[in-house]
Amino acid sequence: MLFGKKSQPLLGLDITTSSVKLIELSQSGKRYRVESYSAEPTPPSSVNEKVIVDARAVGEAIRRAVKRAGARATDVAIAISGDAAITKVIQMPSSLSERDLEGQVEIQADQYIPFPMEEVSFDYEIVGPNENDPELLDVLLVATRTENVEQRESAVQAAGLSAEIVDVEAFALENACQLMSHQIPDAGKEQSVAIVDIGASSTTFSVLKDLKVIYTRDFAFGGQQLTEEIMRNYGLSMEDAGRAKKQGGLPCNYQPEVLEPFIDDMTQQVSRSLQFYLASGGGGREQPDMILVCGGCANIPGIADVIASRVGIPTEVGDPLGQMKISSKAKSQGVHNDASALLTACGLALRSFD
């Protein structure tokens, strides 16, 4: 399931509390091209803190997104949130056959998973020989409650599609970071990079070393807070406030009284996350070499400069599409405008090329 192999092109499908984002990539040599893209608002109250509450309503949004994108593929890669997954690297004898390995992984999995095994979906992948003992293999075990998978599968099926791969958001993000290596010194080699992916209701703070995730933390903060402040201050509906946030046209006191306090909150969250990261290493960790800020809020003008000045680390807006060709169909759907918010969707779409 989690590490399944694709048999045909996959749509990367990112389902969040605010939107359903869908992207389809093709590959020529080492270059990628965006073939189709679209985003649809998630129906109100259909997704609550990354839990799908109304699979049929979400399925209709996915169906609309597929139609608008003009996508032809019917297989999708979706992801569960990192806090819904248990990941653990375990050691296994390298002499085991494939069948015996599977059985031993299941026996060991029971030790690390705090739920009855009949309520769990799990998968594993061999990472490689253990550094300290060549007689052992490092095996990555990933598990989640089956209901987390079934919620997403139900929404996808309601749209007439098939969930070919169920991934974990942290792995999708790591996958997508190769697309931003053009923004990182030495293409990320021996570099430590913090990725701040600001969603609607939650933010994921991750640190990558050599483009591999070594730390990740989710916390409740997102662009919805800014939308709600706009609603409160100007008496707008959620829909109108969201539109005004993106398109402008708000009164002249918007920037000093609403936007700037939100940016202050955001930079405080980034600073706090950096402190958590440094503390988690027992004093042996250093500040990341740079920060890439992603998500819808990354489009706030000057946000990277504000974060850089407050935390003292070079900061840029992440652009996973920067090295890609874009089809005219995807361009017309505004894929460039949404580029910084497409990390998870791009990471999932890259599973087409495993």
pLDDT of 124 over the 80 cut: yes
Q: What are the CA-CA distances from residue 12 to residues 20, 74, 135, 341, 347 (Å)?
A: 10, 11, 38, 13, 7
- Which has more pLDDT, 219 or 345? 345
Q: Does this chain's domain 10-82+147-178+323-353 share its CATH topology with 183-317?
A: yes
* Those residues with Cβ within 8 angstroms of residue 206's Cβ, 6 or more apart along the chain or in another chain: 170, 173, 174, 194, 195, 197, 213, 215, 216, 217
**Rounded-to-integer distance, Cα 84 and Cα 281, Å:** 23
Confidence category of residue 112, pLDDT binned at 50, 70, 90: confident
Dist. CA 324–CA 319, nearest whole Å: 10
Examine the pLDDT at 83 and tell me if it is beyond 60.
yes
Distances (CA, A) of 261 to 22, 53, 229, 265, 268: 32, 32, 10, 6, 11
Q: What pLDDT, on the 0 to 100 scale, is given for residue 33?
A: 95
Q: Is the pTM of this model over 0.95?
A: no
For the chain, where are the E strands, in sequence order? 10-15, 19-28, 31-41, 47-48, 51-52, 75-80, 85-93, 120-129, 136-145, 162-168, 192-198, 203-209, 212-219, 290-295, 315-317, 325-326
Q: Which CATH class is domain 84-146?
A: alpha beta
Average pLDDT over residues 73-102: 91
CATH ID of 10-82+147-178+323-353, from 3.40.50.620, 1.10.10.10, 3.30.70.20, 3.30.420.40? 3.30.420.40
How do the domains of the chain map onto residue ranges? 10-82+147-178+323-353, 84-146, 183-317
For 191-247, write each residue's pLDDT tens digit: 999 999 998 888 999 999 999 999 998 888 999 999 999 999 999 998 899 889 988
The enclosing H or E element of 330 equals helix 328-332
Reported as a pLDDT band with limits 50, 70 and 90, residue 2 is low
Rounded CA separation 159/282 (Å): 47
Pick the CATH number of 183-317 from 3.40.50.1000, 1.10.1060.10, 3.30.420.40, 3.40.605.10: 3.30.420.40
Closest CA to 117 of 144, 89, 79: 144
